[in-house]
A and B are shown apart, each in its own frame.
Chain A
Amino acid sequence: MTRQKPEPVQVVKERRDKALRALVGGIPYAHFLGISFERRGDELTALLPFDGKLIGNPFLPALHGGVTSAFLELTSIIELSWSMLWEEMETNKLDPRKLDAEHLPRLPKTIDFTVDYLRSGLPRDAYARARVNRSGRRYASVHVEAWQDNRTRIFAQATGHFLIPARRKPE
């Protein structure tokens, strides 16, 4: 029995990181808030480094509720897009050399988003991870949690529904 030789690890990593960079790098609002993503295999963690302009209550001080909401929504959208992109990448449906704005899948559109504020966001870095609970052909349901110092003490969570855009025909 002959098996195909596995790809060198650097090649695999480079392809995946490039896809992630292309996905996140194209979103101006992610850049405006300073949001970036770390990847371990297919798992993404969103990072929101603290910045003075993210404050909503200067007296506590606390992160703006809208910042928390934006962070959670963006994390959900990226997670959902990433899960679709990942599948295409791993099944070789997507040419890794064509990971540019023209060939990336269109971003999902938010239908609704419900944020549950559990405690105030402290003036420190925040992290978030999203989980796609259901992703059909047209609709997806995503849950997301954000925390700061302590992974088990989430300060906000949200559930959102998203419209999945029609896929481009493969060339």
Chain B
Amino acid sequence: MTDKSLAQQFIQAIPHARALGMELEEIGDGRAVISMPWDARLVGDPATGVISGGAVSALMDTCCGAAVLSFPGARGTATLDLRIDYMRAATPGQRLTARAECYHASRSVAFVRATAHDEDSAIDDGLPVATVTAAFTMDGGMQAGKQRALAEGSTGASAEDDAEGTA
């Protein structure tokens, strides 16, 4: 999925990404850039006006997932594990931009890292607001993924996801 309009449509098709006002800036070859405006409804600490860590996580998770989907051959994905480190508070009122890179993918697992910058640090790639390291499932389609996961005797997360999703 390297076509930007298609990818933007895909982001728009994700209800939660739409609810948070996410916009896809760039996508292709296992990399994605998605931004999100600051919004008073997303504040996590009323004393500071700083956006909630959870909202930053949602942006990062979406961006990582998009990066995996843009990896050559990828058809479907789901988060297995995501670690987020918060380096500093995002400046209230500023747009957040996440950049994710799927730096390795095996037949069934994709490894992703990502950073999030606010407007203060976006220009010269200063200190990010947060960084992410994540592992995603890598599916070449639902059925194929399920059969492969069963055949490989994997931990079962993706196989079970498929089973539950169709239940």
- B45: interface (CB < 8 Å): yes
Whether B86 lies near A110 (C-beta < 8 A) is yes
Q: Is the CB of B58 within 8 A of A106?
A: no
A-B Cβ contacts below 8 A, count: 146
Instruction: Report yes or no: B83 in contact with A67, Cβ–Cβ below 8 A.
Output: no
Residues of B near A33 (CB, < 8 A) are 54
Number of interface residues of B (CB under 8 A): 42
In the complex with contacts A54-B16, A119-B161, A113-B47 CB distance below 8 A? no
**A70 in contact with B57 given A106-B47, A116-B81, A119-B160 (CB within 8 Å):** yes
Q: State whether B61 touches A29 (Cβ < 8 A).
A: no
Determine the chain A residues whose CB is within 8 A of the CB of B45 once the complex forms.
27, 106-107, 109
Least CB distance from B149 to A in Å reads 13
B40 contacts partner chain A, Cβ-Cβ < 8 Å: yes
Q: Which of A31, A55, A70, A114 is close to B14, meaning CB atoms less than 8 Å apart?
A: A55
Report whether B41 and A31 are in contact in the complex, using a CB–CB cutoff of 8 Å: yes
Interface residue B82 (Cβ < 8 Å from any Cβ of A): yes
Residues of B within 8 A of A136 (CB): none
Query: Which of A11-19, A58-66, A83-91, A126-134 is the contact stretch?
Result: A58-66
Q: Are A27 and B46 in contact (CB under 8 A)?
A: yes
Cβ contacts A to B, 22 pairs, < 8 Å:
A29-B51, A53-B16, A56-B14, A56-B16, A57-B78, A58-B14, A64-B17, A64-B58, A65-B82, A66-B55, A66-B58, A66-B59, A69-B57, A69-B84, A73-B54, A106-B47, A107-B44, A109-B89, A111-B85, A111-B86, A114-B84, A120-B164
